[in-house]
A and B are shown apart, each in its own frame.
Chain A
Amino acid sequence: MGFGNVFEKFRSGLTKTRDSFVGKVQRIVTAKSTIDQEMIDDLEEVLIGSDVGVEATGVIIERIQRRVKEEKYTSPTELTNLLRDEIANVLRGESPQDRGGVIVNEGQRPFVVMIVGVNGVGKTTTIGKMANHFREEGLRVLIGAADTFRAAANEQLEVWARKAHVDIVQQRRGADPAAVAFDTVASAKARNLDVVIIDTAGRLHTKTNLMEELKKIKRVLEKQTPGAPHETLLVLDATTGQNGLQQVRQFADAIGLTGIVLTKLDGTAKGGIVLAIARELKVPVKYVGVGEKIDDLQPFDARAYVDAMFDGRSSSLS
């Protein structure tokens, strides 16, 4: 998949984000001819209004203020560039060259991806999209339906598996999710498949017993294939507020996270919480869900994301 395509997807998916975010920024910076405190305060409000959070907003605003002072910016339109720089800085964090997405390691057969998250964030949909993405790359994928709790979770996953043309391993409702995970990997091994994606039931991160269940699934996967799960991804709803930090913290504590999938970015939601997460917890965003269609899952690229957010022209990717 070419990156031009990625960019287009980002752009159309981010339309709402851009309208509300950059639209506001533009109005603020064009309202006056010089940079003043009120203008900075307004920018702060835009960031907070995008779920970036008080902490991360504070850091971004402080850096901008310092640069305005030290580098003697006077024109308000330059503020846009500063803001864009600083957002990109926060997002890229420690791994500036990370291009997002999941790289399936050739040496690991099967490559196991475990998907976790709270209820209603779009885990099953994400798995459907991801399975499709891997299959298009020529990999042979098997999905494990380890959400044995929610009513009709299997049926929903089946619909997605059909759309993605991949197989699925499932058991009756109420079965031990760890057993489903075990079976899935065993089956993938027997059939010499490339990738296993394990769906898990949505759970609030505060439920100790359910978090223990996740640990068990992880242990079972480890036993089946050393090193598995090779990726553990938390699916996060872009409309989530500051509780997103708690979610990442708790899931990471329990089972360790290798990345985040940010979903539902096609609403008016800004997903600003990923800035707070990137700054405070250093868990990288791997994919972004920008629509309801099966190919609406894109590898996350901080630079492309910020560019799409700000002007819809890509300087670094063309």
Chain B
Amino acid sequence: MFENLSKKLEVVFKKLRGEGKITEANIAESLREVRRVLLDADVNYKVAKEFVDNVQKRAVGREVLTSITPGQLIVKIIYEEMVKLLGVSKADIQDAPNPPTVIMIAGLQGSGKTTFCGKLALYLRTKGRNPLLVAADVHRPAAIDQLVLLGKQVDIPVYLERDRDAVTIAGNSIEYARKNIRDTVIIDTAGRLHVDEEMMREAIAVKEKVRPHEILFVVDSMTGQDAVNTAKAFHDRLNFDGVVLTKLDGDARGGAALSIRHVVEKPIKFAGVGEKLDALEPFHPDRIASRILGMGDVLTLVEKAQEQFEVEHAQKLEEKLRKAQFTFEDFLEQLRALKNMGPLNQLVGMIPGMNRLPADAAIDDKALVRVEAIIQSMTREERMRPSILNGSRRRRIARGSGTTIQEVNRLVKQFDEMQKMIKRMSKGNVRRAMKGLQFPLN
């Protein structure tokens, strides 16, 4: 999660609050902090410097409207600059006039190329294509076996030849695809260290042999300052068409994305977001930018929620939220849907303001089970009207759920606070409402 970044930015912007106009003097310190925040997020130092300069240029002299604080104005400017730098969302693959479309995957060792090949094949098949995977990484021990296994998992054929060189294998695979009516060929190439001239030459030879319609460069989102050098080196030699950012499901802030976009004018097309083979998403610059800025990745959360909640259900809930009739019953339903949506920590980070939870208030998925048990031990009436929960009812619930009365008390109290918060929220003051929030799960 991006919590440190947004926390720091908030401190910075607090200092800006209450000033009428942005001047070089009142923004200087804040921009230094912004630069620091960017550097902590692994944005390349040159890129960070330029970025901050741009923000300053755009910010100085701007009147601050009464409706927003200077901090908000700067956030807006930074957000816009960041989205601009990250480029447009473009997760398409160029199509060949005559099939097969050939896609070549390149990148450093350990960046996640082979896994990405499997994910991309699956992704393209859901788009109605017939992919063929090609095992042309002949250097890493067992890379071929890995691709074969991945192919088996997603039921997509893998072309391989043992003891042949990469160029021959790649060349032959195209012929094979034509004969077997596969319209898309995905070639996994060897990743070594990019200073390795031999590997670069091999990649270039493969490129010249198969004339790919699309070359994708795979990079680990945890990469530090060196990301620019790696991207540039690959781009200079291979002139790739797009970038894939992997391991974004961790807590790396992904400053590398910003750096790479800056030195290479090619779009970031995909983001790897998990171990499973369907964990591939089109890259959304706006979402990443808002996540970086702590505005919450609201869009992704909404989308994820929609997969789980039926739409009407969500609408009903929204209405209830608005009318502040949120009951334990609703809470239980929400909990269950939450559990299907993935690790809670990841979700909470997507909610605006929630990444400001204290670091030690980590939310444990196991706590959910206890909460669920407590609610399940309530009668329907108790769930709808928590106010009737007196001492003896609470004792019964504690016994029934295998918890303690203290735990029941705590849940009821926190639920009460949550209800209050929702009331405040429905009156439109989300920011203040979130501030006092204690998520009733720890």
> Which positions in A face B, CB cutoff 8 Å?
16, 45, 48-51, 53-54, 118-122, 149-153, 155-156, 158-160, 173, 204-209, 237, 239-244, 246-247, 264, 266-270, 272-273, 292
B79-109 Cβ-contact flags toward A at 8 Å (1 or 0): 0000000000000000000000000000011
Shortest CB–CB separation between residue A143 and chain B, in angstroms?
A: 14
Alpha-carbon separation in the docked complex, A158 to B45 (Å): 41
Cross-chain contact A151 with B224 (CB below 8 angstroms): no
Inside 8 A of A240's CB, which chain B residues have their CB? 222-224
Cross-chain contact B141 with A159 (CB below 8 angstroms): yes
Cross-chain contact B195 with A239 (CB below 8 angstroms): no
Q: Which residue of chain B is the closest to A205 with respect to CB atoms?
A: B250
Cross-chain contact B220 with A207 (CB below 8 angstroms): no
Cross-chain contact B253 with A208 (CB below 8 angstroms): no
Alpha-carbon separation in the docked complex, A238 to B229 (Å): 14
In terms of DSSP, what is the predominant structure of the interface of chain B? loop
Q: Is B318 part of the contact surface with A, judged by Cβ < 8 Å?
A: no
Alpha-carbon separation in the docked complex, A244 to B247 (Å): 14
Cross-chain contact B345 with A208 (CB below 8 angstroms): yes
Inside 8 A of A121's CB, which chain B residues have their CB? 110
Q: Which of B33-41, B53-61, B283-291, B295-303 participates in binding chain A?
A: B33-41
Q: Which of B143-151, B323-331, B398-406, B414-422 participates in binding chain A?
A: B143-151
Q: Which residue of chain A is the closest to B222 with respect to CB atoms?
A: A243
Inside 8 A of B252's CB, which chain A residues have their CB? 241, 243, 246
Q: List 17 A-B contacts (CB under 8 A).
A: A16-B195, A118-B222, A120-B110, A152-B146, A156-B140, A156-B146, A207-B343, A208-B365, A209-B343, A240-B223, A241-B227, A243-B222, A243-B251, A246-B251, A266-B193, A267-B195, A273-B224
Inside 8 A of A155's CB, which chain B residues have their CB? 141-142, 145-146
Q: Which of B143, B225, B247, B255 contacts A270 (CB 8 A)?
A: B225
Inside 8 A of A152's CB, which chain B residues have their CB? 142-143, 145-146, 148-149
Cross-chain contact A267 with B343 (CB below 8 angstroms): no
Cross-chain contact B109 with A122 (CB below 8 angstroms): yes
Q: Is B334 part of the contact surface with A, judged by Cβ < 8 Å?
A: no
A118-B247, A120-B220 known; A241 vs B343 contact (CB < 8 Å): no
Alpha-carbon separation in the docked complex, A118 to B346 (Å): 17
7 more A-B residue pairs beyond the given contacts A207-B343, A244-B222, with a C-beta to C-beta distance below 8 A: A53-B40, A173-B149, A205-B250, A239-B108, A239-B227, A241-B223, A270-B225
Inside 8 A of B108's CB, which chain A residues have their CB? 239, 267
Alpha-carbon separation in the docked complex, A152 to B141 (Å): 9
Alpha-carbon separation in the docked complex, A51 to B194 (Å): 18
Q: Which of B110, B149, B275 contacts A237 (CB 8 A)?
A: B110
Interface residues of B in 330-368 (CB under 8 A from A): 343, 345-346, 364-365
